[in-house]
Amino acid sequence: MKTRNFKILLIGLILIIISLFFIINLYNKPFIDIKKSNPKIEITAQEILNDYQADESLANEKYVDNLIQIKGEIADISFDNGISIITLKDTSGFSSIICHMLPEANLNILKLKKENQVLIKGVCTGYLIDIMMVRCVLNNDNFDEK
């Protein structure tokens, strides 16, 4: 009788530990590794801006939350609150793409200048008067240093 109770207790305990393990794992689920992941969409700055200016909600469906790689020319680089921000140009004027970079990209950003062509990979969060990108990294293999 005693051993039976012990067995039930042991099985119950193991079940609790296993479910706790899964719950903690789910709770601590990591963000996707931007650097290692392949972009779902590869596009030029002009193309994505055109899409947003044509129809914002349609563009949101296509781009928001997706890992996107954008090819474009740097209009501005700034450092604010420890975050580097690279703004990609639009040839036509007002709108641009504002990319908030991950800290790990900082060193490579120092090598960049305005008007450099870059490939930036990150997650699109939507459009205000510019397209907003977060958690961006530079695709090092491809950027051309002028």
**Comparison of 1 and 26: residue with beta carbon closer to another protein:** 26
Q: How far is the CB of 115 from another protein (least distance, A)?
A: 20
Between β-strands 41-44 and 97-101, what pairing exists: parallel, antiparallel or unpaired?
Answer: unpaired
Pairing of strands 117-127, 67-80: antiparallel
Shortest Cβ 7–another protein spacing (Å): 31
Give whichever of 136 and 138 is closer to another protein, judged by the CB atom: 136
Residue 134: Cβ within 10 Å count: 15
Instruction: Specify whether the CB–CB gap between 70 and 52 falls below 8 A.
Output: no
What is the closest distance, in whole angstroms, from the C-beta atom of residue 3 to another protein in the complex?
37
Where does this chain bind another protein (CB under 8 A)? 26-32, 60, 64-65, 78, 80-81, 83, 85, 98, 100, 125-130, 132, 134-135
CB atoms within 10 A of CB 122: 25
What tokens does 131 get? 């397209």
Q: How far is the CB of 32 from another protein (least distance, A)?
A: 8
